[in-house]
C-alpha cells in the first residue's frame, strides 16, 4: 500500500508549546518597551529633566552622596574611605550617607560611570527604576494571569499618585519598592515550591 502525503504537515503539540511562549515573551517585551518610553516621556513633559534637585533637602543630599561614591571609585580608590569622605564633606557639605542604606548610592555611582554625574542623569535613573518596577509587575502578573492583566497592573501602578511623586523626586523610595517586590516574588515562589514538596510527600 502506497501512502501519499502532502507537503503541509500539522504542527505537533510540542512545536506549538515552543512557539506560543516565545510569542507571549515577545509581546511582553513590546509592552515593556512601551512602559519605559512612557515613563521617560512623562518625565520630559513634566519638565523634570531641567530640575536642579532643590525640591526638598533630601534630594540634593541623595545626589551628593551618590557623587561621593562616584568620585571615590573614579579617583579615590586606594585612599582610606573616611579620609576621602571628610575631604569631600568639606567641599560639598550636604551628604546623606549613614541615614539610608548604601545600595541606592552604589547604584548611582555605577549609573554615573555610564552617563556622568549630573542632576538630569539621576532623573533618568529614577525613571529607569520606576520602569523596571512596572515591568516586573507586568512580567509576574502576565505569567499567571495573561498579558492583559499584566498590562493593566503596570498601568495602574504608573498612574498611582504616590508612584508619580516618587518618580519626580530624587529619593530612594522607588528603589525600595522594587527591592521589596523582588523579595515578595522570591518568598512566594519559595512557598509554592514548599507546598508542592508537601503534597508529594507520602507522609502527608
Radius of gyration over every alpha carbon of the chain, rounded to an integer in angstroms: 24
pLDDT over 60 (residue 89): yes
Quick one: cell of 160? 498611582
Q: What angle do CA 187, 154, 182 make, to 5 degrees?
A: 20
pTM as predicted:
0.74
- Residue 102 carries which DSSP code? T
For residue 116, the model assigns a pLDDT of: 87
Q: What is the pLDDT of residues 164-195, one digit of tens each?
A: 888 888 788 899 999 999 898 888 876 655 55
Q: pLDDT band for 9, please (50, 70, 90 cuts).
A: very low
Q: Report the pLDDT value the prediction gives residue 110, as an integer from 0 to 100.
A: 92
103, 109 Cβ separation under 8 angstroms: no
What confidence score (pLDDT) does residue 20 get?
45
- Reported as a pLDDT band with limits 50, 70 and 90, residue 7 is very low
Q: Tell me the sheet residues that pair with 38.
A: none
Q: Categorize the per-residue pLDDT at 75 as very low, low, confident or very high, splitting at 50, 70 and 90.
A: confident
Q: What phi, psi does 46 have (nearest 5°)?
A: -80, -5
pLDDT number for residue 151? 92
Helix (H) or strand (E) holding 24: helix 13-45
Alpha carbon distance 140, 133 (integer Å) = 11
Q: Which residue has the higher pLDDT, 24 or 64?
A: 64
Relative orientation angle of helices 57-71 and 81-91, to the nearest 10 degrees: 130
5-19, 28-42, 53-67, 190-204: range with highest mean pLDDT: 28-42
pLDDT tens track for 106-122: 999 999 999 888 888 88
- Give pLDDT tens digits for 114-164: 988 888 888 889 999 999 999 999 998 998 888 899 999 999 999 998 888
Rounded distance between C-alpha atoms, residue 14 and residue 196, angstroms: 25
Q: Can you give the three-state secondary structure of 129-158, one letter per residue? A: HHHHHHHHHHHHHHHHHCHHHHHHHHHHHH
Q: Is the pLDDT of residue 18 over 60?
A: no
- Across all residues in the chain, what is the average pLDDT? 77
Amino acid at each position: 500500500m502506497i501512502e501519499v502525503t502532502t507537503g503541509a504537515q500539522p504542527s505537533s503539540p510540542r512545536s506549538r508549546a515552543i512557539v506560543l511562549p516565545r510569542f507571549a515573551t515577545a509581546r511582553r517585551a513590546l509592552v515593556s518597551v512601551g512602559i519605559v518610553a512612557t515613563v521617560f516621556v512623562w518625565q520630559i513633559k513634566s519638565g523634570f529633566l531641567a530640575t536642579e534637585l532643590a525640591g526638598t533637602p533630601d534630594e540634593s543630599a541623595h545626589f551628593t552622596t551618590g557623587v561621593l561614591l562616584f568620585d571615590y571609585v573614579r579617583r579615590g580608590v586606594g585612599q582610606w574611605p573616611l579620609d576621602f569622605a571628610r575631604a569631600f564633606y568639606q567641599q560639598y557639605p550636604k551628604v546623606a550617607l549613614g541615614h539610608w542604606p548604601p545600595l541606592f548610592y552604589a547604584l548611582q555611582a555605577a549609573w554615573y560611570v555610564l552617563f556622568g554625574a549630573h542632576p538630569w542623569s539621576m532623573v533618568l535613573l529614577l525613571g529607569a527604576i520606576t520602569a523596571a518596577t512596572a515591568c516586573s509587575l507586568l512580567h509576574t502578573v502576565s505569567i499567571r494571569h495573561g498579558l492583559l492583566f499584566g498590562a493593566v497592573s503596570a498601568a495602574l501602578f504608573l498612574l498611582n499618585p504616590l508612584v508619580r511623586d516618587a518618580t519626580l523626586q530624587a529619593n530612594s523610595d522607588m528603589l525600595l519598592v522594587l527591592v521589596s517586590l523582588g523579595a515578595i516574588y522570591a518568598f512566594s515562589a519559595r512557598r509554592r515550591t514548599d507546598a508542592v514538596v508537601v503534597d508529594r510527600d507520602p507522609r502527608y
